């Protein structure tokens, strides 16, 4: 079973929910898909080792064979190639690695090279939680290939619980993180900004056909628009995490709050059961 | 034989009275003018709303059309490397009309851009 934790707005508490949920359940795979800033391990502090490189194919153009016809330039949807009067010029960071330029070149002037854009890491076997994380190298623009490769390492099967910490927003890296999950927990905050971005995230999960529910973090700040929206749209509110100083202090010290406020393990487990029920009822329908 | 001068100005619309659009890759229109006769042609920037590589696409258009000088407000690194490799002169003008930019070009009062001045997209 794969449960993603996502949000429209950043900084609402995705990692807090993912880590505390993982620790409450115990035996899970935690997949940190926020590859531009993987931060689950700030709270778990496990030793992690490199597991594999993320390799993207990238074209190499033989300047001697290139006749500057511009067919590859016209073909490339990402404008990763250009042709000057003196020959071709390549912009590897714009390339998505589809290989189309290679197929379309009438002179067979294009071959494929490899480029390493990130790395997949894994916690050691003695860690509390089986943590996997992707890391996109600084300056690299494309997070999705790292996320896709990271997710190929998920072990599926009877009794496997997988928690996926998604990046914020509603763009490609989020879609890559949410693809094929059984459920999505959307974490939001009770502010107009939180509501606005929650509504965008709801549109995404609805379009992807993923059952979902909402966690309101820092609950009790005074704005009730999020709850009104959830109630009127028949969206289950799975949990409310109060706007409490103790939680903020623990967060600032890098301590998952269920480790000290242990009654919350029960709350997370109950929520997990609710999620499982919602998944089952969706499958039955 | 003197090389024909083709000056391209990034523009908000399709004529000489239009305001300059200061962003090269994502400008709305390109106006290509002969600075001596003031004859011109204009076309929409098809790449203005694309997801990425707008600068590369715009620079390729300049190269394909044989533009000798570009007048705009900002150019990113990818576009700049293409334009400089092809020897297209890049001149700075971020405001005023297209016609004013061409006049300024004729009097030689526009500052040359020596390096990319916008972060662009890597």
CB-based contacts of A210, cutoff 8 Å, min separation 6: A4, A178, A181, A182, A183, A184
Q: Which domain holds residue A166?
A: 2-46+127-284
Q: How confident is the model at residue B46 (pLDDT cuts 50, 70, 90)?
A: confident
Indicate the domain borders of chain B.
7-112
DSSP A94: G
H/E element holding B99? helix B98-107
Given a contact cutoff of 8 angstroms between Cβ atoms, the answer to whether A173 and A151 are in contact is no
Residue B56 sits at the chain A interface (C-beta within 8 Å): yes
Q: Are A16 and A157 in a shared domain?
A: yes
User: Which runs of consecutive H residues, i.e. helices, occur in A26-171?
Assistant: 40-44, 71-75, 100-104, 144-151
Is there a contact between B53 and A78 if contact means CB atoms under 8 Å apart? Answer: yes
User: Region A117-145: what's the mean pLDDT?
Assistant: 94
Q: Are A175 and A251 in a shared domain?
A: yes
Residue B106 sits at the chain A interface (C-beta within 8 Å): no
Q: In whole angstroms, what is the distance from residue A103 CA to residue A108 CA?
A: 8
The beta strand positions in chain B, using DSSP E, are: 7-11, 29-33, 40-44, 69-72, 89-92, 111-112
Q: In whole angstroms, what is the distance from residue A142 CA to residue A35 CA?
A: 10
Given a contact cutoff of 8 angstroms between Cβ atoms, the answer to whether A120 and A19 are in contact is no
Q: In this predicted model, what pLDDT tens digit does every residue of A44-67 receive, in sequence order?
A: 999 999 999 999 999 999 999 999
Q: In this predicted model, what pLDDT tens digit does every residue of A67-105 receive, in sequence order?
A: 999 999 999 999 999 999 989 999 998 998 899 999 999
Q: In this predicted model, what pLDDT tens digit does every residue of B22-41 receive, in sequence order?
A: 999 999 999 999 999 999 99
Residue B121 sits at the chain A interface (C-beta within 8 Å): yes
* Range of lowest pLDDT (A150-154, A156-160, B86-90, B97-101): A156-160
Please name the member of B57, B64, B81 whose beta carbon is closest to the beta carbon of A79: B57
Residue B50 sits at the chain A interface (C-beta within 8 Å): yes
Q: Are A29 and A85 in a shared domain?
A: no
User: Region A162-187: what's the mean pLDDT?
Assistant: 97
Is there a contact between B53 and A73 if contact means CB atoms under 8 Å apart? Answer: no
Is there a contact between B81 and A89 if contact means CB atoms under 8 Å apart? Answer: yes
Structure ipTM over 0.95, yes or no: no
In this structure, which topology does domain B7-112 adopt according to CATH?
Answer: Nucleotidyltransferase; domain 5 (3.30.420)
Is A121 within a domain?
no
Is there a contact between B56 and A141 if contact means CB atoms under 8 Å apart? Answer: no
User: DSSP labels for A105-130?
Assistant: -TT--EEEEEEEEEEEEEE-TTSSSE
User: DSSP labels for A177-221?
Assistant: HHTT-SEEEEEE-SSHHHHHHHHHHHHHHHHHT--EEEEEEEE-S
**Average of per-residue pLDDT values in chain B:** 92
* Range of lowest pLDDT (A8-22, A86-100, A265-279): A86-100
Q: In this predicted model, what pLDDT tens digit does every residue of B70-113 receive, in sequence order?
A: 999 999 999 999 999 999 999 999 899 999 999 999 999 999 99
Residues of chain A positioned with their CB less than 8 A from the CB of B50: 79
Is there a contact between A86 and B86 if contact means CB atoms under 8 Å apart? Answer: yes
- CB A51: neighbour CB atoms within 10 A? 15
Is A51 within a domain?
no
Q: What CATH number is attached to the domain comprising A61?
A: 3.30.70.20
DSSP B35: T
Domain final residue pick, A71, A89, A116: A116
Is there a contact between A89 and B63 if contact means CB atoms under 8 Å apart? Answer: no
B interface test, pick of A63, A79, A144 with most B CB neighbours within 10 Å: A79
Is there a contact between A84 and B53 if contact means CB atoms under 8 Å apart? Answer: no
Chain B CA closest to residue A81: B56
CB-based contacts of B56, cutoff 8 Å, min separation 6: A79, A80, A81, A82, A91, A94, B25, B78, B79, B82
Is there a contact between A82 and B60 if contact means CB atoms under 8 Å apart? Answer: yes
Question: What pLDDT is stored for residue B52 in this prediction?
Answer: 81
Q: How many CA atoms lie within 13 A of B121 on its CB side?
A: 19
Question: What pLDDT is stored for residue A141 in this prediction?
Answer: 86
Give the count of domains, chain A.
2
Q: Is the predicted pLDDT of residue A128 greater than 90, yes or no? A: no
User: What backbone torsions phi and psi does residue A248 show, to the nearest 5 degrees?
Assistant: -65, -40
Share of residues in chain A with pLDDT > 90 (%): 92
């Amino acid at each position: 079973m794969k449960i993603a934790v996502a949000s429209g707005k950043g900084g609402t508490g995705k990692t807090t929910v993912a880590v505390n949920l993982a620790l409450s359940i115990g035996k899970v795979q935690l997949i940190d898909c926020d590859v531009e800033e993987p931060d689950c391990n700030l709270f778990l502090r496990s030793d992690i080792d490199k597991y594999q490189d993320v390799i993207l194919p990238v074209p190499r153009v033989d300047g001697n064979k290139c006749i500057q016809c511009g067919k590859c330039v016209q073909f490339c949807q990402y404008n990763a190639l250009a042709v000057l009067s003196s020959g071709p010029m390549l912009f590897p960071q714009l390339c998505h690695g589809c290989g189309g330029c290679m197929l379309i070149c009438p002179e067979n002037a294009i071959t494929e090279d490899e480029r390493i854009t990130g790395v997949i890491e894994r916690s050691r076997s003695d860690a509390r939680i089986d943590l996997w994380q992707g890391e996109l190298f600084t300056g690299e623009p494309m997070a999705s290939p790292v996320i896709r490769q990271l997710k190929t390492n998920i072990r599926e099967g009877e009794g496997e619980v997988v928690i996926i910490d998604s990046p914020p927003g509603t763009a490609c890296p989020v879609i890559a993180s949410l693809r094929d999950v059984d459920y999505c927990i959307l974490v939001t905050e009770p502010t107009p900004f939180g509501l606005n971005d929650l509504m965008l995230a709801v549109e995404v999960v609805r379009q992807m056909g993923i059952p979902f529910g909402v966690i309101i973090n820092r609950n009790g700040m005074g704005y009730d628009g999020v709850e009104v929206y959830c109630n009127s749209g028949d969206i289950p509110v799975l949990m409310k995490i109060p706007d409490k100083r103790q939680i903020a202090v623990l967060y600032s010290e890098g301590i998952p709050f269920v480790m000290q406020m242990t009654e919350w393990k029960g709350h997370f487990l109950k929520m997990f059961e609710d999620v499982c029920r919602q998944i089952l009822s969706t499958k039955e329908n | 034989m003197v090389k024909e001068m083709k000056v391209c100005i990034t523009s908000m619309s399709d004529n000489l009275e239009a305001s300059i659009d200061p962003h090269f890759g994502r400008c709305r229109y390109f106006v290509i003018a002969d600075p001596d006769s003031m004859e011109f042609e204009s076309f929409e920037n098809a790449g203005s709303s694309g997801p990425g590589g707008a600068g590369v696409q715009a620079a390729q258009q300049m190269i394909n059309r044989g533009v000798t000088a570009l007048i705009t407000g900002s150019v990113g690194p990818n576009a700049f490397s293409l334009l400089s490799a092809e020897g297209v002169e890049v001149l700075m003008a971020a405001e005023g009309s297209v016609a004013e930019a061409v006049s300024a070009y004729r009097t030689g009062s526009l500052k040359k851009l020596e390096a990319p001045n916008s972060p662009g997209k890597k």
